[in-house]
Structure 1
């Protein structure tokens, strides 16, 4: 009986730890929901929208959404976006790996007066997990996606994961 109780406890703990590591759970934990979400399915149906990539440049160079503009996260400058997108009513979707960094950038855009900003729910990971295409720095279709870290990479299930160490990019 004691062995059965221990086994049951181990299964419950294992299930709970797996459940915590899902895109919805991570977004619930880290995001404030200050920027409205758009799903990958909704975005896939839209032709005319400005896509802003809020990841770091090494992530963007591995793969990105077609026609997206890299704005970065650590180096983000709202004035650069204002120069590129002078109309504050322009529809904008910001994305990153899963939607945490892009919410921060979306907040900055809204504070700067942009009125039609959305955050891509699940980011490029959800986009690729749903089978939608991503493109490398030469504009070619690729299966590679920068997974940011082993923890975040566990949320990417339908791509060739790439990680960057301080000296090089490594495929996994």
Structure 2
């Protein structure tokens, strides 16, 4: 009986110590080396200044859905030559599923001399959770979002979760 009670208490402790909200989870991921920008700010920029938006995920993730007009840059095989055609003074917004991988590429862009790089807070998950439109490989609106894997899927509150 004592061991069952101990196991129960241990499990309760582990569950109570983990991130409880999306925002708490995001704060554990970011090193804050790249300025964060929120979905509403990105939408305003899209409507006014037309920033360069880079999707820093896998091809499979990008094909399921992406922010309309974003350019695909593969996180796993990023090279400086992938962005050599972009003006260094461009407004660049990077995103991935939740912002971790895009922050890493954002760091590389800054080290390459890009002056205005921002990381979309919460990535495509928060974009979709805030009811902004994503498009599929045919450039048609979709509710599907690739969630990277089943564990991360819990942070996508709106839309159809795809992780295979």
TM-score (norm 1): 0.83
SS at match of 2:163: strand
Unaligned runs of 5+ in 1: 1-5, 165-172
Task: Count the aligned residue pairs.
Answer: 156
Alignment CA distance shift 1:99-1:50 (3 Å): same
8 Å contact from structure 1 (residues 57, 70) kept in 2:
yes
For the residue of structure 2 that corresponds to 1:45, the secondary structure is helix
Determine whether 1:103 maps to 2:97.
no
Task: Measure, in 2, the Cα distance between the counterparts of 1:21 and 1:113.
Answer: 37
Q: Do the aligned partners of 1:66 and 1:134 also contact (CA within 8 Å) in 2?
A: yes
Equivalent residues of 1:23, 1:98 under 8 A apart: no
SS of 2:161 mapped into structure 1: strand
Computed over aligned residues only, the root mean square deviation of the Cα atoms, in angstroms, reads 2.1
CA shift digits 1:149-168 (9 cap, x unpaired): 1111110010100112xxxx
Q: Name the CA shift for 1:125/1:79 in 2 (closer, same or farther; >3 Å).
A: same
3-state DSSP of counterpart to 2:97: coil
- For the structure 1 residues 15 and 160, does the alpha-carbon distance in structure 2 shift closer, same or farther, using more than 3 Å as the test? same
Aligned equivalents of 1:34 and 1:152: distance in 2? 23
Structure 2: which 5+ runs fail to align?
Answer: 1-5
| Rounded Cα–Cα distance in structure 1 between residues aligned with 2:156 and 2:70 | 20
Alpha-carbon distance, 1:22 to partner: 3.4
Work out the CA distance in 1 between the residues paired with 2:113 and 2:26.
25
Equivalent-residue separation in structure 2 for 1:104 and 1:95 (angstroms) = 10
